[in-house]
Structure 1
Amino acid sequence: MDVKTTKSAHSVKPVSDGMAHIMGSISDLKEIIELQAIMDGLSTKRNLDKQDSLILIQIKERLFALENLKAKDSISSD
């Protein structure tokens, strides 16, 4: 009975890790879409003020952070 339980526990771990990875990817994608919507809103302005420029810089930095995070995940999962 213990052997069967141990085999189940080992097979559930990769599935739960995979689901966590998928949920993280979905969360990141949602954030990227939200950032893109903000950028689209700013792109309709005729002139950007200082606050708009700071927002664009923050968006750029966050997108780079997300890209680097995914690159690290990709390397560690290989």
Structure 2
Amino acid sequence: MTVTLDQMIEIGSYRVMAISDCVVCANHRNGSVIVAGQKRPVAVLIRQDSALTAFGADGMPMTRDQIEKLCPGAWVRALEVD
């Protein structure tokens, strides 16, 4: 799994970011190249002022430790991004 912290989206006083699993596959056949990509959210981080909460794709709350295991540095970056 390759995860990334996506760009922040601003909704009123909320800052919303997703941690997404990104997959790119490439292959070749008969002289042609085939490339496919997929991106799916695995967690959502919601910041309001200095409070940050996180949820898994299933809607269950996630802890800071769980987020950091999934995407190291994401918690701090989510608090710093404007």
Question: Which protein is richer in helix relative to its size?
Answer: 1
In the superposition, the TM-score normalised over structure 1's length comes to 0.30
- Which one has a bigger Cα radius of gyration? 1
Which structure shows the higher strand fraction?
Answer: 2
With normalisation by structure 2, the TM-score equals: 0.29
